[in-house]
Amino acid sequence: MTPMKKSYLIDMDGVIYRENHLIAGAAEFVEAMEMTGTPFLFLTNNSAPTAEDLAIKLNHLGIPGLGPRHFYTSAMNTADFLAETHPNCTVYVIGEGGLLAALHEKKIYSDAINPSYVVVGEGTATTEKLTKAHEFIERGARLVATNPDNWCPVSADKTRPGAGAMAAFLEASTGRRAYYLGKPNAYMFYRARLRLVENSHVKLDQAVMIGDTMDTDIRGAVEIGMEAYLVMTGSTRLEEVGDYVYQPTRILQSVADLTTEIKSGQPSDRLNSPVFAHTSVSRNKAGNRHQTDVYSLHRPRPRPAMTK
């Protein structure tokens, strides 16, 4: 049998690590991909770090040997989007180093007088910055957010406000809708797949998305026509999967389930188990997980999440 030639887009938080701890088997999974020359790219909605920062983080957690080319963030996605749709535009940024670096790399520069866009990312916003952003939007600047996450986990029992919440503030004050990049926006998956092709010369239809969150990782992959593998090591519990209209191609206990088949090249059907059963709803946290959830086809389900 010819070996599988799949390539992987892989979410990080809840898939590779949780709260600065590597998930069991994740290091062996990455090692198997490297050993077999399987193309892969890590995908995150966190727009605060640079790709270099993320390589250092994974090195500290126990996955060495990765470089910036192995990572694609919602900040890079936002920079790609602006560079493609509006070259030479200027921006007023509320965000962190990863976002500023990504924009700068695409020659999109900061403008505190007459910016074409207000770009909101992860990080701390001051009232002064929000007020300026509000004024720019009222004067015609377009509002863009790196990702729709309303909140992000800090630890098991602590969250912080995310880019979606910050954008919602400006949506409320200006009456304008923000445009959200990052997962589940198809543009995130489109550009990530292009990057995978550039990195490794694989065919587009061979890419698989692996993630732990239904309404970002799985939804986005399904909508762009990719295979989507859901892992049970993060924000989604098995009994919640049936609540969603869209379903993952496969459900895995963890990425460790893929290690053997990546090494052997033989796909396993042991874990093919889309779940359609409706069961109880978890009530750990109220409200929409993402600012784009108001548009979802399914009823928003309050539940814990581990996606950064």
Residues catalogued as catalytic: 11, 13
Shortest Cβ distance from residue 74 to Mg ion (Å)? 12
Contact (CB, 8 A) for 229 and 248: yes
Residue 212 in contact with Mg ion, rule: CB under 5 A: yes
Contact (CB, 8 A) for 279 and 301: no
Q: Within the chain, what is the greatest distance between any pair of CA atoms?
A: 62
Per-residue string for binding with Mg ion, 220-249, x by CB under 5 A?
A: --------------x---------------
Residue 11 in contact with Mg ion, rule: CB under 5 A: yes
Shortest Cβ distance from residue 214 to Mg ion (Å)? 11
Residue 14 in contact with Mg ion, rule: CB under 5 A: yes
| Binding segment toward Mg ion, per CB under 5 A, in 5-13, 68-76, 111-119, 251-259 | 5-13
Residue 182 in contact with Mg ion, rule: CB under 5 A: no
Query: Which residue in the block uniquely carries the two structure tokens 């126990």?
Result: 62
Residue 215 in contact with Mg ion, rule: CB under 5 A: no
Residue 121 in contact with Mg ion, rule: CB under 5 A: no
Residue 96 in contact with Mg ion, rule: CB under 5 A: no
Contact (CB, 8 A) for 141 and 176: no
- Residue ranges of E strands in the chain: 7-11, 17-18, 21-22, 40-44, 71-73, 90-94, 109-110, 117-120, 142-145, 151-155, 158-161, 179-180, 207-211, 227-231, 250-252
* Interface size with Mg ion, residues (CB under 5 A): 6
Distance (Å, whole) CA 76 – CA 194: 13
CB nearer to Mg ion: pick between 93 and 231: 231
| Binding segment toward Mg ion, per CB under 5 A, in 6-14, 149-157, 186-194, 262-270 | 6-14
Contact (CB, 8 A) for 144 and 92: no
Interacting residues of 172 by C-beta distance below 8 A, sequence separation 6+: none
Shortest Cβ distance from residue 212 to Mg ion (Å)? 4
- List contacts with Mg ion (CB under 5 A): 11, 13-14, 212, 234, 307
